[in-house]
Amino acid sequence: MSQSKPIRRVAIIGTGVIGASWTSLFLAHGLDVVATDVAPGADAALKRFVATAWPALQRLGLAPGASQDRLSFTPVLTDAVKDADLVQENGPEKIEFKKTLYRQLDELLHPNVIIASSSSGLTMSEIQSACKMHPERCVIGHPFNPPHLVPLVEIVGGAKTSEATIQRAAEFYTSIGQRTVRVNKEMPGHVANRLQAALAREVYYLVAEGVVSAADVDTALCWGPGLRWGIMGNMMLNHLGGGKGGIEHFFQQFSGPMTAWWKTLGSPVLTADVQKKLIDSVHAEVGSRTVEELEAERDQVLLGLLEIRNKVAKPSQPKSKAAVA
């Protein structure tokens, strides 16, 4: 695969929450975006989402030439992907649907065009198995909701994905301000969702067992370790937790207590009764606030954190700008 062609035009397949957020991000970085979705009213809904997201993107800083006017929409897949340099696919998490779609894309697109999937759980090896011509250009580019604000992208290759594709995808996402993680082995749920699932398991257990309410467990997380996780990850925080002795002292000091806690961690079964207990506790925490109000609160705090982080540490630059210049 040649890495010389710049990525200037992106095709978005599927304009739900993730696809619309990707669209906003790409537009904010001065790219041309052609979106496609067969759902009724998808065009209008997408434009409303972008317009709503735009003030936050302006606050973070728009790239030269960034404009909502660089968005076009068509319900016809073949028209959407024509002349695209990269396709960001956000279709349903159904393997047969994706295999059919990727078989079609493989036949339509120039071999140089990357096909990136936002899939949160399906493996690229299974998805790309339908591609008979150029499976090497297919890769997972898994974002986190909402992608236009949360910069993490997990990059996972399949059995037939080329190293050149992985490198070019990483360079592209990095060039638009995202933080990429290279997942070296395919795992269900990739990495970050697995971390969230591990934490959610213990959260659900503690609430279901009556140890703590949903409100208090959320307070424990977001006003305790969550504040630190917004700055550094678990391994770096462990290193700091060891004081001057670093990670070595941390393990000497805490490996015993920590492994003892592991033995008491819960494995809740999400029966109807357990789910009702969790749901009732969450609604008690939510009170009269709407989902829209909670989303606005989340995004305002997130924007402030992003602005601070961007001042302190700039995203790492791609090794080569040839693919995105």
Nearest to 221 by CA among 268, 285, 276, 271: 285
Question: DSSP letter at 324?
Answer: T
Upper half-sphere CA count for residue 320 (Cβ side, 13 Å): 11
The whole-angstrom separation of Cα 72 and Cα 79 is 11
Mean pLDDT of the chain: 93
According to CATH, where is 1.10.1040.10 located in the chain? 192-287
**What is the percent of the chain where pLDDT is above 70?**
95
pLDDT at 4: 55
**How far, CA to CA in Å, does 290 sit from each of 16, 75, 293, 299?**
20, 32, 5, 14
Confidence of residue 312 (pLDDT cuts 50, 70, 90): confident
pLDDT at 121: 87
Q: Which two tokens stand for residue 47?
A: 């434009």
Q: Are 114 and 166 in contact (CB under 8 A)?
A: no
Cβ neighbours, 10 Å, residue 198: 11
Cα 147 from chain centre = 6
pLDDT at 320: 38
Q: Under CATH, what is the fold of the domain 192-287?
A: N-(1-d-carboxylethyl)-l-norvaline Dehydrogenase; domain 2 (1.10.1040)
Q: What pLDDT, in 10s, does the model give residues 3-51?
A: 457 999 999 999 999 999 999 999 999 999 999 999 999 999 999 999 9
Q: Under CATH, what is the fold of the domain 9-190?
A: Rossmann fold (3.40.50)
Place of tokens 């550094």: 232
Q: Are 46 and 20 in contact (CB under 8 A)?
A: yes
What ranges make up the beta strands (E) of the chain?
9-13, 32-36, 71-73, 86-89, 114-117, 138-143, 152-157, 179-183
pTM (2 d.p.): 0.88
Q: What pLDDT, in 10s, does the model give residues 252-301?
A: 999 999 999 999 999 999 999 999 999 999 999 999 999 999 999 999 99
Upper half-sphere CA count for residue 78 (Cβ side, 13 Å): 3
Amino acid letter, 73 = F
Place of tokens 């492994």: 259
Q: Are 191 and 183 in contact (CB under 8 A)?
A: yes
